[in-house]
């Protein structure tokens, strides 16, 4: 664990066995589709299947991605998670929340 995975930033996997795979999937989506413009500020999972992601837009003075960027990340990450779920690598019922300061 690095940071609290929330507003303090960092990564909090909380000993959730599939957490590292969900984190890797988020990093893959960012690397493949967003380049150096969008970065993950915080990532947290819970044993009950909750995934929390907070993004920062590095080229924005306030660090806020646009709504289109948030929606695009959410769609792409959900697709990636669905693929991983189909392979049985993570649980079936996940809740995803993406957040940015507005």
Count the Cβ atoms, other than its own, within 10 Å of residue 28. Answer: 13
Q: How many structural domains does the chain have?
A: 1
The helix (run of H) or strand (run of E) holding residue 20 is: helix 19-33
Output the six-digit token pair for 13: 């996997």
Q: What is the pLDDT of residues 20-71, one digit of tens each?
A: 999 999 999 999 999 899 999 999 998 888 889 999 999 998 889 999 999 9
CATH number reported for the structural domain that contains residue 6 in this entry = 3.30.300
91-100 mean pLDDT: 67
Q: Which comes out higher in pLDDT, residue 73 or 5? A: 73
| Domain enclosing residue 65, as ranges | 2-99
């Amino acid at each position: 664990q690095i940071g609290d995975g929330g507003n303090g930033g960092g990564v909090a996997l909380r000993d959730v066995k599939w957490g590292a795979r969900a984190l890797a999937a988020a990093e893959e989506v960012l690397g493949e589709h967003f380049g150096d413009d969008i970065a993950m500020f915080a990532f947290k999972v819970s044993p009950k299947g909750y995934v929390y992601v907070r993004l920062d837009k590095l080229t924005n003075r306030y660090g806020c991605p646009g709504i289109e960027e948030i929606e695009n990340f959410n769609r792409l990450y959900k697709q990636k998670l669905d693929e991983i779920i189909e392979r049985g690598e993570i649980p079936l019922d996940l809740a995803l929340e993406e957040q940015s300061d507005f």
